[in-house]
Amino acid sequence: MLRYMVRRILATIPVMVVVAIFVFSLLYFAPGDPAAIIAGDQATAEDIALIRESLGLDRPFLVRFGEWSWNILNGDLGTSIFTGLPITHLIAQRIEPTLSLTVLTLVFAILVAVPLGVLAAWKAGTWVDSAVMIFAVLGFSVPIFVVGYILAWLMALQLGWLPVQGYRSIGDGLWPWFRSLILPSISLGCVYIALIARITRSTVVEVLRQDYIRTARAKGLAQMPTLFIHGLRNAAVPIVTVIGIGFAMLISGTVVTESVFALPGLGRLTIDAILHRDYPVIQALVLIFSFAYVLVNLAVDLAYTLFDPRIRY
C-alpha cells in the first residue's frame, strides 16, 4: 500500500517537469517578441533591447529555464508586466472565487451525476435511460457560456431569484456566498455532469451483468442496495478516473464561467492577462492550473485503494 502511494507520488514528478518545460518554452519560442509587444508600436529598437535586457530575455534557454524553475520552487512566480505586482500576490487575491466555484461544482456535479448514471444503468433501455442520455449529449453540446446566459436570463433576469452576476466572499456569510455561486456552478457543472453520468451509466451497466450481482439478488437483496452496495462500489474505479480526467474540463470551464458571471477569479485574471499580453501571468496561471490537475489525479490514484482491495502494487 505504502509502496503504491510512493510510486504514484513519484510518477507525478516527470509529468510536472514536462508541463513546466512546455509552459516555459511556449513563451520562449514564441514567434512574437514579447519585448516588442510591451514596448508598443512607437518604440525604437533601443527601447526594445532595453526592455529585453531588463526582463532577462537575452540569456540562453537553459539558464532562463533553470532560474525560472528555481524561483517557482521558492514560491516566486515572477512579476506581472502589466501591473508590476508579484504574480503570487495577484493569484492570492483572485484564488478564492475560483476555488469556491471549482470545489462547489465538483461536489454538486458528482452528487447529481452519479445517481443519474446509476438510474440510467438500472433502467437501461427504458425512457428514463434515454432521457438521461439525451441530457448527457446536450450537456456535451451546449457550450458553458450558452448555458450560463440561459440560466442567468431565466433565473436572475426574468424570475429574479438569484443574483445575475458578481461574487460574494465567503467572509460575507455562507448564504450570500452560496447564492452567488449557484448559477455559475450549474453552468460549469453541466458538461461535467454529462461526462460523469455517461461513464457511470456504462460502467454500472457492465457491472450489473456480472455474476456477483446475480448472487446479490439471489440472496434476496432489493434493487437499491444491490445497485449501490454491490454495483456502484465495483464501478467506482472508472468513475473516479473520469472525475479526475474531467477536472481539466472544469478548469477550462472556470475561465469562461467567471467571464459570464463576472467572478473576480483566476479565470478572469487569465482573460485580462491575454488582453494585456501579460506573458509571465499567463505562464504562471497555466502552470498552476496544470499542477492542480496533476494533484487531483494523484488524489484519484490514491483513492483507488479505498474502492478496490485488489489494487496493491
Partner 1 sequence: MPATTLAATERPDLFVVRRRRSGVLGFLIGNPRITIGGGMLALVVLMAICAPLLATHDPLSLAPWLRARFPSAEHWFGTDMLGRDIYSRVIYGARVSLTVGISVAVLTSVVGLFIGLIAGYLRWADGILMRVMDGLMAIPSILLAVALMALTRGSMVNVIIAVTIADIPRMCRLVRGVVLSAREQPYVEAAVATGTRTHVIIRRHILPNTLAPMIVQATYICASAMIVEAILSFIGAGTPPTTPSWGNIMAEGRALWQIKPFIVFFPAVFLSVTVLAVNLLGDGLRDLLDPRAATRT
Partner 2 sequence: MSLLEIEGLRVQFRTATGVSRAVDGLSLSVDAGQVLAIVGESGCGKSVTAMAILGLLPEGISRADGTIRFEGRDLLALTDREMQKIRGKAVSMVFQEPMTSLNPVLTVGRQIGETLRLHEGLGRRATEARALEMLRLVGIPEPERRLKQYPHELSGGMRQRVMIAMALACNPRLLIADEPTTALDVTVQAQILDLMRDLIGRTGTGMVLITHDFGVVAEMAQRVVVMYAGRKVEEAPVRDLFAAPRHPYTRALLDSMPRLTEGGEAPEELTEIPGVVPALTEPVRACTFEPRCPRASDQCRTLYPPFRECGDDHMVACWNPEPQPDAAVAEPRRQGEMKA
**Would you tell me which residues interact with partner 2 (CB under 8 A)?**
125-126, 210-212, 214-223, 229-230, 233-234, 307-310
Q: Which long-range contacts (CB under 8 A, 24 or more apart) does 262-265 make?
A: 262/165, 262/166, 262/167, 263/97, 263/98, 263/101, 263/166, 263/167, 263/180, 263/184, 264/94, 264/97, 264/167, 265/94, 265/95, 265/96, 265/97, 265/98, 265/101, 265/167
| Three-class SS state of 226 | helix
**Partner that binds at residue 309, options partner 2, partner 1, none, CB closer than 5 to 8 Å by kind:** partner 2
In the complex with partner 1, the residue whose CB is nearer, 87 or 216, is 87
How far, in Å, are 6, 96, 161, 240, 270 from residue 170 at the CA level? 36, 8, 20, 28, 22
19 binds partner 1 (CB under 8 A): yes
**Partner that binds at residue 216, options partner 2, partner 1, none, CB closer than 5 to 8 Å by kind:** partner 2
How far, in Å, are 111, 136, 208 from residue 228 at the CA level? 14, 21, 11
In the complex with partner 1, the residue whose CB is nearer, 118 or 294, is 294
**Partner that binds at residue 235, options partner 1, partner 2, none, CB closer than 5 to 8 Å by kind:** none
Sign, CA dihedral 264-265-271-276, equals positive
In the complex with partner 1, the residue whose CB is nearer, 14 or 309, is 14
Q: How far is the CB of 138 from partner 2 (least distance, A)?
A: 25
30 binds partner 1 (CB under 8 A): yes
229 binds partner 1 (CB under 8 A): no
Give the x-and-dash track for 162-181 against partner 1 (CB under 8 A). Answer: --x-----------------
Number of Cβ within a 10 Å radius of residue 301: 19
Whether 101 and 258 have beta carbons less than 8 Å apart is answered as yes
259 binds partner 1 (CB under 8 A): yes
| Three-class SS state of 79 | strand
Whether 27 and 78 have beta carbons less than 8 Å apart is answered as no
Q: How far is the CB of 233 from partner 2 (least distance, A)?
A: 5
26 binds partner 1 (CB under 8 A): yes
Q: Which residues bind partner 1 (CB under 8 A)?
A: 14-19, 21-23, 26-27, 30-32, 137-138, 140-146, 149, 153, 157, 164, 195, 198-199, 242, 245-246, 248-249, 251-253, 255-256, 259, 270-271, 273-275, 277, 279, 282-283, 285-286, 289-290, 293-294, 297
